Amino acid sequence: MRRKAYRRDLNALPLSFYARRPDVVAKELLGKRLVRRLEGAKLEGVIVETEAYFGKDDPASRAFHGRKRYNSPMWSEPGRLFVYNVHRYWMLNVIAHCPQEVGGVLLRAIEPIQGVELMLRNRPVRRITELTNGPGKLSVALGVEPSMTGINVMNYESAVFILDSEPFPYSSSRRVGVTVDLPRDLRFYIEGNPYVSKP
DNA sequence: AGGAAGATCTACT
DNA sequence: GTAGATCTTCCTA
């Protein structure tokens, strides 16, 4: 009997992938493919940089001050989007935490692999490596809006979803721009990738 | 009303 | 490379 070969790159990640500690999920999201449906097109990129955020014990987390209206999506089911504002930009996060806990992963940079023309229309830049090498930048390029909070990235029908791929080796560092940080590395990135926001 | 924020852009030394 | 301006969204820590 013939068995169809399993193709990682054709499959979404299951809930069990996201229902783990945010730092573990942040590491393992590197190399996965982020897909954004926009105007009938598919914009796609490889995730090359992430940061993990925890709950009430993490001073840099949106959840630090307890549950409020603006941060309540941090408590939602893993695998959902949470979009929030910093300065003038929207930050794209995927909720990721163990049961009964709180946390998420900030998507900080992607390497564009499909729909680059449309991304460039959204965010005109001279050098292609400047297109999506930062959390605010990738949100502009992909047309991310706060109304996308709650979207299920495990569903192919969603406006944003994530596809599996082979695991990728990673490097780590302190989180970027965080004024009061935890004493450990919670930023993860693909070493040497030109689309990382900073080496 | 005032201030802070997980950032980005510009204009320079 | 780096300082300084930017001018949104949400909070009152």
User: Which token pair is A138?
Assistant: 């990738």
Phi, psi dihedrals of residue A192, rounded to the nearest 5°: 85, -5
CA–C1' gap, A168 and B2, in angstroms: 45
Q: A7: burial class by Cβ within 10 Å (0-12, 13-18, 19+)?
A: exposed
The helix (H) or strand (E) run that includes residue A17 is: helix A15-18
Decide: A159 and A36 in contact? Cβ < 8 Å.
yes
A116 three-class SS: helix
- Write the pLDDT tens digit of every residue in A145-154: 999 999 999 9
Residue A9 pLDDT greater than 90, yes or no: no
pTM: predicted TM-score of the whole model, two decimal places: 0.95
pLDDT at A85: 94
pLDDT at A2: 64
Using alpha carbons only, what angle is made at residue A151 by residues A114 and A51, rounded to the nearest 5 degrees?
A: 70
- Write the pLDDT tens digit of every residue in A28-83: 999 999 999 999 999 999 999 999 999 989 999 999 989 988 999 999 999 999 99
Give every CB contact of residue A155 below 8 A, 6+ residues apart in sequence. Answer: A12, A161
CA–C1' gap, A126 and B10, in angstroms: 15
A40 three-class SS: coil
| Closest nucleotide to the alpha carbon of A70, via C1' | C10
Cβ A53 to strand B below 7 Å: yes
| Closest nucleotide to the alpha carbon of A85, via C1' | C9
User: Which token pair is A194?
Assistant: 């030109």
Protein residue ranges contacting nucleic strand C, Cβ under 7 Å: A 65, 68-70, 85-88, 146
CA–C1' gap, A135 and B2, in angstroms: 27
Of A3-7, A30-34, A131-135, A187-191, the poorest mean pLDDT is in A3-7
Chain B positions within 7 A of any protein Cβ atom are 4-9
